[in-house]
Each structure stands twice: as C-alpha cells, then as structure tokens.
Structure 1
Amino acid sequence: MPTITTTDDVKLHFTESGSPDGRPVVLIAGFKAAATSWVYQRKALAGAGYRVIAFDRRGHGESETPDAGHTMQRHGADVHDLLEGLDLHDAVLVGGSMGGNAIWSMTSQFGTARVGAIVIVDQTPKMLNTDDWPYGFYDYDASTSESMFATGVPDTGRATARSKGVVRIGRLVRAMDVRRTGLSISFTPGELALLDDHARQDWRAAVAAVDVPVLFVAGRESEFWPSDHAPAAAALNPLASSVIIEKDGHAANIEQPAKFNAALLEFLAASAR
C-alpha cells in the first residue's frame, strides 16, 4: 500500500494508475469521501495518457487518523507534502467539495510552483452567505453561523434521492463503495472540527491570486449551494472558467461522469503547457 509521510508524521495513502511518464493529475476527494470515489475518472484519465494519483486525506479512507491536524490549513499542507513527496511538477489538482478548498489552502500557503492547473468540483470558495457573496451553503449566514454545522452536514431538502433517479443513485453507491465500507452518518470530534473550520473560510483571495488555469465545475442540482457559485468564482480570476452540468448534483463527477469527464479532459488539453 503506497503512502507518503507528512511533515507532522502522518501517513497518507494513495493509489496510482495510468502512464508513469504522463502529466500528473491528483484527485482529492471531499468530506467523508475516499480516493475510491474517483472510480469514474481514473480509467478515463489513464486512457488519455495521464499519470493518475488519488489520495486519501488525513482521517479519510485508508490514511491515518491522527489526534491533531483537523484544519483546512493542515489539509492544504498535506497536499503540498504529497506534491513534494512524489516530486510532482506541472500537476493538475482536481478537488471535489472540501477537497477543492484544500487546494486553495495549499496554494495560499505554498504557491503554485508544482501546479499546472486546478479543477474545483462543486465547491463554493466561501460557505457563508453575505451581501457580497450569495453563493454559499443554503441558509448559512450570520444568524446560523454558530449552529449550522455543530452536529454534521444539515439536510437542505434539495435534490432528494427520488429526484436523482435510480441510475444516479446507483453511481453514488458504487463510487462511495457503500456496500463494502458502509457510509457512517455519525461524525467524530475531529470531523466536526474540520467541518466547522471549512465552513468558516473565505478562499476568494486565494482564487484571485493563482497564476494557473482554473476550471470550476458545478452541478445544476447541487444539494448545498446555487450552481452560480461556479461562474461567480471564475469571475475572480482571468485565468478561470466554469461549466455547469445539467441534471447533476453535488457529486458532479459521480452522478454524470461522462459529461464531467468530457469537460475535464477538454480543460486538461487546453491547459497543457
């Protein structure tokens, strides 16, 4: 089982596939999701000649769960440790949900020297709704900021299982490997601490600062925020663009993998140096 060890001595598990000499694409999953959730992307990327690396963030999948480091700052440092540990250059970082904001944490701390492009999958750079940013988590504002994520991720009542249909739900079950691992609906203290820290961040300045191409992907039927977060985030940086996938939810890469993969591969080709 391949691992890298972080600067605070935590072992992070990762998998590799595709061409060892191809451009590296690093897949970073979201909250409570493992590297296996990229099942629909790994084959497509490998088939296109990329070196595909999917890793489990600390406290996720097969990586270690330490007592400390359950912050977005540390998760960003972990991404940097992976890039350095594998000596990756011109890497494409693809982050789903919270994994996307771990990328902004990394670039804000360490820059983009090893990064060639960034893809953010259905993640707003600012969770808190304010007058200048109405694209945050539904109903999360100053009046609910202390209670919204106190016990986990609240149900927004949007994009129900029935509305998704059997095919999309089946893809989610497979990608999350629910039959083998189950999917805990409880939250550890470390997970709650990470979720709270994630919800309080504002990464708009980090988005504006990066000097590499960025693609923001949104699911039109995202459970968590308006899909307009993607074009709004892209407007922060002249190197950024966005795409909204119809009949797609928060897990945009899972529910509509063919459409997502087409957008991803087109962006990767355009961003090649």
Structure 2
Amino acid sequence: MLHLIALDALRRLALISLLLIVSTTSWAETKTYTITAPDGVTIAVQESGAPDGQPVILIHGLLGSHLSWEAQVRSPALQGYRLITYDLRGHGVSGMPSSPEAYTDGRRWADDLAAVIAASNAHNPVLVGWSLGAAVITNYLAAYGDGRIAGALYVGGVIELQPDQIVAHPAVYHGLSSADLRTHLDAEREFLALCFQTQPDTVTFQRLLANAALASPTMQDAVPSMTIAVAEGLGATRKPMLLLYGTQDALVHPEPSIARAKALNSNIRSIMYSQSGHAPFLEEADRFNRDLSAFVDEVTQP
C-alpha cells in the first residue's frame, strides 16, 4: 500500500515537473522588450513564433493591446512566422502621454511603428493593422514609404475618420471621452461589444474589456482627431495591399472604405467575410489565419 502511495506521489511529481517544463518553454518562446519612440514614449513589444521566420507585425486597434492577437500568436498554423506585436501608445503596457498632441499627430504613431521595425530588425515585414492599426500603417507609409515592407493587410481598417466611412455611435464615443467613470466604463463595454457580430466567449470578452479599461482616457478623447495622411500613404504605395472586412461590421462601413481606398490606389484588393463584424481575425480566426498565411507567402515570394 505504501509502495502504491509512493508510486502515485512520484507520478504526480513527474507530472508537475513536466507541466513546469512546458510552462517554462512556452514562456521562453515569447520575447518581450521595450523601445523608446522619437518623442520619448515607451513602447512595449512582444515576439513569438519562429525567430528566423518571415516577420509579421500585428498592430491592434482602439482600446486593444497585443492580447487582441492571441488567436494568431497561439495558432499552430502561424508558428513558422516571426510574429511581432506591440502595444500602441496609450494602450496596454506602453507609455501613456498626457498631452493630446501625442495622439492627434498621426506622424507620432507612424514613428512608433518605424521604431518597432528598426529595433526588432524586422527585414521586409508584412504589416497587419486592425481598425485604428490600419491608420497607423497608412501614416507610416506616408512618412517612410514602402521600401522597408513586403506588403500590408488591413482588417476592419480605418481608411479615413470620415462620416461616410465610420458608423455613427455618438453616445458611445461621447461616453468614451466622459470624465464620469461609470459612463466611461459603460461606453468601453458597449464599444467592445460592437466589435463583434459573434460575441467571443465570456472569459475572452472579460479579458478584452479589462484590456480596454487600461487605455489612456486622454488618448480616447484625442484619437478621433488623429491625422491620417491617406493620399500620401495608401495612394503612393506600390507594395501589395489587401483589405479584409466583415460584412456585419458595426463600427466601420466596409463598402465606402474599400471604395475610397481603391479610388486612391487601384491595385488594392479586398475580401469580405460574411459571418464577421469588426473583428474577423477573432470571429473567423481559422479562416483569417489561412488568408493571412497565404497573403504573407504571396508577397514574400522571391
């Protein structure tokens, strides 16, 4: 009897040791570091996947963080790429400037992305921008050109902050800039719910909501006035660009956004997901991951 108890204890100890090894290995696979933007803002960067793989830089949207991309960084289908995420200024664990100009000046967001590319030594990366992240890429292209990237994929992308392209939710956006804490937090919850045609599971939604609550109030108030150099960015680039929208998007109007982008650059392609809202990379993650992989492979072929 004692022998059996001892054997069971050894088995439990072996299992615990194995779990610790797996946990340590998983942790080691994620590299985290910080960089400093030209205006002094600290930007938190994360890397996973294959260190020697094709770099893919994933840029989240308003009220998000690198955690927005968990369905990508945890996908076995994408582990052959070098997956680089970062928290936008005013989001996640990156710096949160107190000046509204730090957010309304689109060039500063572009400089952040340029700093991430340089510090990570990402050669010829593919840029992926969700919602506001797409506007960040546009400003990067306007400021730095497309010579250092292989291509760009916009997901539910903000082309311009214009009424014909952005769905009107005046109460929500007013609430996001409210100084009343209850009103502010309720608006963040409503905004997050609007991101999905198919709502995520409870744990994921709660995590993303807590993530939204971390975002700078100053940023939330200022970002609707962010400058986007769309003609100099989208209009001037000659690298492959793909726009991907959910037909049920409740935050960005897909058709006018695509039309505006293609009017600026006739080489831009587009895909629509009929079952998705504003977040196809979460709502139809497997399909999105396949399309992302195909796009990356296409634009990086020798």
Q: TM-score, normalised by structure 1?
A: 0.81
- In structure 2, relative to structure 1, the CA distance for the partners of 1:149 and 1:169 (3 Å cut) is closer
Q: Do the aligned residues in 2 keep the contact of 1:17 with 1:46 (CA within 8 Å)?
A: no
**Equivalent residue number for residue 114 of structure 1:** 148
1:190 positional shift: 2.9
Counterpart contact for 1:12–1:58, Cα < 8 Å: yes
1:170 aligned residue (200, 207, 211): 200
Work out which of the residue numbers 95, 99, 111 in structure 2 matches 1:64.
Answer: 95
Larger helix share, 1 or 2: 2
Closer/same/farther in 2, CA of residues 159 and 26 from structure 1, 3 Å limit? closer
Given candidates 125, 129, 133, the residue that maps to 1:95 is: 129
| 2:249 aligned residue | 222
Secondary structure of 1:211's aligned partner: coil
Q: Note closer, same or farther for the CA distance 1:139–1:70 as it changes in structure 2 (3 Å cut).
A: closer
Structural mapping, 1:172-187, within 5 Å: 174=204, 177-178=207-208, 181=210, 183-184=212-213
- Number of matched residues? 255
Q: Which amino acid aligns with 2:81?
A: Y
> Is the CA contact (8 Å cut-off) linking 2:63 and 2:215 kept in structure 1?
no
SS in 2 for 1:65: coil
* Residue-by-residue CA offset, 1:36-85 (whole Å, 9 max, x unaligned): 11011113377451100010011111111122311322111110111112
Give the Cα–Cα distance (whole angstroms) in 2 for the partners of residues 215 and 251 of structure 1. Answer: 15
Greater displacement, 187-196 / 94-103: 187-196
Aligned counterpart, 2:6: none
Query: What residue number does 2:221 align with?
Result: 192
Q: Quick one: structure 1 residues 206 and 45, their matched pair in 2 at CA, closer, same or farther if it must change by over 3 Å?
A: farther
Residue pair 1:224, 1:250 contacting (<8 A) in 2 also: yes
Q: Partners in 2 of 1:139 and 1:4 — Cα distance? A: 36
User: For the structure 1 residues 21 and 245, does the alpha-carbon distance in structure 2 shift closer, same or farther, using more than 3 Å as the test?
Assistant: same
Q: Mapping of 1:145-164 within 5 angstroms?
A: 149-152=173-176, 164=197
In the other structure, the counterpart of 2:55 is: 24
CA distance in 2, matches of 1:186, 1:169: 21
Deviations 1:10-48 (A, max 9, x none): 211111111111111001000110101101111337745
Letter in 2 for 1:269: D
Amino acid at match of 1:215: L
Where does the alignment leave 5 or more consecutive residues of structure 1 unmatched?
none
| Aligned-partner residue type, residue 253 of structure 2 | P
CA RMSD of aligned residues (A): 3.1
Is 1:210 matched with 2:237? yes
Contact preservation (8 Å) 2:161, 2:224: no
Gaps of 5+ in 2: 1-31, 178-186
Question: For residue 146 of structure 2, what is the amino acid of its counterpart?
Answer: T
Compared with structure 1, are the counterparts of its residues 2 and 116 closer, same or farther at alpha carbon in structure 2 (3 Å cutoff)? same
8 A Cα contact 1:25 1:53, kept in partner: yes
1:247 and 1:83, CA in 2 relative to 1: closer, same or farther beyond 3 A?
A: same
Asked whether the 8 Å contact 1:230–1:242 carries over to 2, the reply is no
Q: Output the CA distance in 1 between the equivalents of 2:151 and 2:43.
A: 23
Structure 1 distance, partners of 2:72, 2:199, is 17
* Segments ≥4 residues shifted beyond 6 Å: 157-161
